[in-house]
Structure 1
Amino acid sequence: MNADFDYLFKISFLGDSGVGKSSLIYRYSDGTFIDSFISTIGIDFKIKKIETNGKIFKLQLWDLTGNERFRLIPRSFYRGAHGIMLLYDVTNQDSFDNLKNWIQSIQEKAPENVNIILVGTKIDLVSKKVIDTETGKNFAEQLGFSFFEISSKENINVDEAFHHFVHQIYQRVNQDPQNNLNLIENQKKENSCF
Structure 2
Amino acid sequence: MNFEDYQYLFKFVLIGDTGVGKSCFLSQYVKGKFIQEYDPTIGLEFESKSIEFNDGIVVQNQLWDTSGSSQFMAIQKTFCQNAAAAIVFYKIDNQNSFKSLENWLSILKQVSSDMIQIVIVATHQDLETQRQVQTQQGRNLADSLNAKFYEISNHDKDQIDGIVNSLSYNVLRLINSNKINPLNTQYGIKMSRQQEQQYASQLDNSEENIIQQQSSPKRRGSDIKIEQNTFSPNKITTASPSRSQHENEQTEQNQQQTKPKFQLLFILLPIIIAYGLYQILL
1:117 Cα offset (Å):
0.9
How many equivalent pairs are there?
Answer: 188
Structure (1 or 2) with the larger CA radius of gyration = 2
Which of residues 133, 136, 145 is equivalent to 2:135?
A: 133
Structure 1 counterpart of 2:23:
22
Structure 1 counterpart of 2:274:
none
Deviates more, 1:92-101 or 1:166-175: 166-175
- Give percent identity, aligned residues only: 32
Q: Sort the Cα spacing of 1:74 and 1:19 in 2 relative to 1 into closer, same or farther, 3 A.
A: closer
Q: Sort the Cα spacing of 1:47 and 1:156 in 2 relative to 1 into closer, same or farther, 3 A.
A: closer
Structure 1 counterpart of 2:116:
114
CA contact (8 A) 2:123 2:152 kept: yes
1:162 and 1:77 map into 2 onto residues whose CA distance is 18
**2:189 equivalent to 1:187:** no
Q: Sort the Cα spacing of 1:156 and 1:90 in 2 relative to 1 into closer, same or farther, 3 A.
A: farther
Deviates more, 1:33-42 or 1:164-173: 164-173
CA contact (8 A) 2:77 2:107 kept: no
Give the CA RMSD over aligned residues.
2.0
Q: Deviations over 1:118-145 (max 9, x none)?
A: 1111111121122222211111001111
Superposition map of 1:45-84 within 5 A: 45-53=46-54, 54-73=56-75, 75-84=77-86
Structure (1 or 2) with the greater helix fraction = 2
1:152 and 1:74 map into 2 onto residues whose CA distance is 23
Q: Which amino acid aligns with 2:196?
A: Q
TM-score between both structures, scaled by the size of structure 1: 0.88
Secondary structure of the 2:19 match is coil
Structure 2 counterpart of 1:91:
93
Structure 1 counterpart of 2:253:
none
Q: Which runs of 5+ in 2 are unaligned?
A: 184-189, 200-282
1:75 Cα offset (Å):
4.6
CA contact (8 A) 1:75 1:110 kept: no
Secondary structure of the 1:91 match is coil
Q: Sort the Cα spacing of 1:92 and 1:4 in 2 relative to 1 into closer, same or farther, 3 A.
A: same
**2:176 equivalent to 1:174:** yes
2:29 and 2:76 map into 1 onto residues whose CA distance is 26
Q: Which amino acid aligns with 1:170?
A: L
2:180 and 2:138 map into 1 onto residues whose CA distance is 34
Task: Name the structure, 1 or 2, with higher relative contact order (CA <8 Å, separation 6+).
Answer: 1
2:180 and 2:52 map into 1 onto residues whose CA distance is 23
Q: Sort the Cα spacing of 1:88 and 1:169 in 2 relative to 1 into closer, same or farther, 3 A.
A: same
1:52 Cα offset (Å):
2.0
